[in-house]
Amino acid sequence: MKKLFKLILNTIPRPILIRLSYAARPVLALALKGNKFTDPIDGKSFRMFLPYGYGKQRNNALSPSTLSLERHRLLWLYLKNETDFFSSKEKKKVLHFAPEQAFYKLFRNQKNIQYTTTDLFSPLADVKADICNLPFEDNSYDIIFCNHVLEHIPDDTKAMHELYRILKPGGMAILQIPQDLKRDVTYADDSITDEKERAAIFGQYDHVRIYGRDYFDKLRSIGFKVIEEDYTNKIAPELVEQYCLAQGEIIPVCHK
């Protein structure tokens, strides 16, 4: 199964994968039904989650029902337990970059937010836009989700400035990235252009860097106030295992 999923991820373009997944999801959920692992987003349980990864495959990473990964389930728990994102009576403007399927329909149907999605290529995007040159006014959004996007962007500094520009004062931006917390300094090398070599070094063929712990300070240099939220350490260990979370993953919670 690992080899099959790796082949699918590395050969089928992402927009097509998104469309195909809608048909595959109910079949996978039925076939893997059980009680060992639970997706906290929809509460459904399975005997196993699916493997996932463009290079090295991670076991029990992809939920069969919502297609959530570890980072999505962690973010969901954080939003549900630590914020008023789902309960606020004040309607907030939300901008979601490269909207994840795990969240898309749920957020779209949420009555207490005004929800807009954006991306250059995603079929789920309301607005086709370049993150380095956004068509939105200053101080436009109360909440911004931009998760696992910046590692794809050559000029991530310009993208960060744009995110800061359009966030309202007092607003919150969740800017998750794949991160090697053992690295003090982010690593990038533009001379590496071979897709297989990039996948081996950066973890995915279309990534341009590996972020280190200095990522948080870079966000601060842009102007963000950053909370390095180590949320798995606030969750019972048995739930970290049951929800298939990545122990020690940091959520960058940014405010303006």
Task: Collapse the DSSP code of 163 into the 3-class scheme (helix H, G, I; strand E, B; otherwise coil) and give the result.
Answer: helix
Better-scored residue on pLDDT, 14 or 223: 223
* Residue range 167-191: mean pLDDT, rounded: 95
Q: Which of helix, strand or coil describes residue 199?
A: helix
pLDDT (0 to 100) of residue 193: 84
Q: What average pLDDT does the segment 96-106 reach?
A: 95
Q: Closest Cα partner for 160 from 98, 116, 224?
A: 224
Calpha distance 246→107 (Å, rounded): 23
CA atoms within 13 A of residue 63's CA, in its CB half-sphere:
28
- Count how many residues are written for the chain: 256
Q: Is the pLDDT of residue 30 over 80?
A: no
Of the pLDDT bands very low, low, confident and very high (cuts 50, 70, 90), residue 191 is confident
Task: Determine the residue type at 35.
Answer: N
Q: How far apart are CA 121 and CA 15, in angstroms?
A: 7
Contact residues for 1 (Cβ-Cβ < 8 A; gap 6+): 50, 51
pLDDT at 11: 56
- Helix-then-strand count for the chain, H and E: 8, 13
**Which of 41-50, 116-125, 188-197, 203-212 comes out lowest in average pLDDT?**
188-197
Q: Is the pLDDT of residue 14 over 90?
A: no
Burial zone of 180 (CB within 10 Å; 0-12 exposed, 13-18 middle, 19+ buried): middle
